[in-house]
Amino acid sequence: MNAQDCPFEKIIPSELLRDAEYFMAHAFNQAIEAWKIDEVPIGAVIAHEGRIIASAHNRSRAANDPTAHAEILAISQAAHALGDWRLNECTLYVTKEPCPMCSGALVISRIKEVFYGLPDEKMGCLGGALDLGALPRSNHHFTSTGGILAGPNHAILQAFFEKKRQYNATDKTNDSAAI
């Protein structure tokens, strides 16, 4: 599989309306960058006072680090940019509902709110499988909204894994023929 052959074009959002779709378009563009280095195409950006202060995509394979998810990397960048680990005035935009690890990091970082593209009923922890942002006994709660640019976010993940399956099937066929 040639990772650089991402069939998706970047979305160029209008600067006139900095709404959830604007910021999600930037997260989607990060997902494209993940595809280009053969990472699961998930991207994230964090906004503070209407401007992006952090942007990242998955790098688990490239970094050989299971914690190098887009959200974790963006949280670290945002904390560094603000000089404070508390992100209580920040909003995260991520292409897929965060997993348990990332959702826990969002609680710890005291994120203000989260917008995500694609819900994840199996592992999503902002309403999919459970909601860590609304734990009743937690000292921090945040709101989350799903479905932002859900179509393109679903399409890129679906296409990535389909291409992976095709590549793996071809690779197995080639291995069998060589024997």
Work out the pLDDT band at 15, boundaries 50, 70, 90: very high
Residue type, 38: D
State the average pLDDT over residues 158-175: 83
Task: Return d(Cα 56, Cα 26) in angstroms, integer.
Answer: 10
The string of pLDDT tens digits covering residues 123-149 is 999 999 999 999 899 999 999 999 999
More confident residue, 1 or 92: 92
Spatial contact of 15 and 60, defined as CB atoms under 8 Å apart: no
Sign of the alpha-carbon torsion through 103, 23, 156, 81:
negative
Average pLDDT in the chain: 93
Task: Return d(Cα 60, Cα 179) in angstroms, integer.
Answer: 33
State the average pLDDT over residues 38-52: 97
Predicted local confidence at residue 177, as pLDDT: 56
Share of the chain above pLDDT 90, in %: 88
Residue 71 known to be catalytic? yes
Catalytic pick from 33, 39, 71, 97? Answer: 71
The string of pLDDT tens digits covering residues 28-43 is 999 999 999 999 999 9
Q: Is a pLDDT exceeding 60 seen at residue 121?
A: yes
Structure tokens at 12: 């160029």
Task: Return d(Cα 155, Cα 163) in angstroms, integer.
Answer: 12
Share of the chain above pLDDT 70, in %: 93
The string of pLDDT tens digits covering residues 65-95 is 999 999 999 999 999 999 999 999 999 999 9
Predicted local confidence at residue 67, as pLDDT: 98
More confident residue, 155 or 176: 155
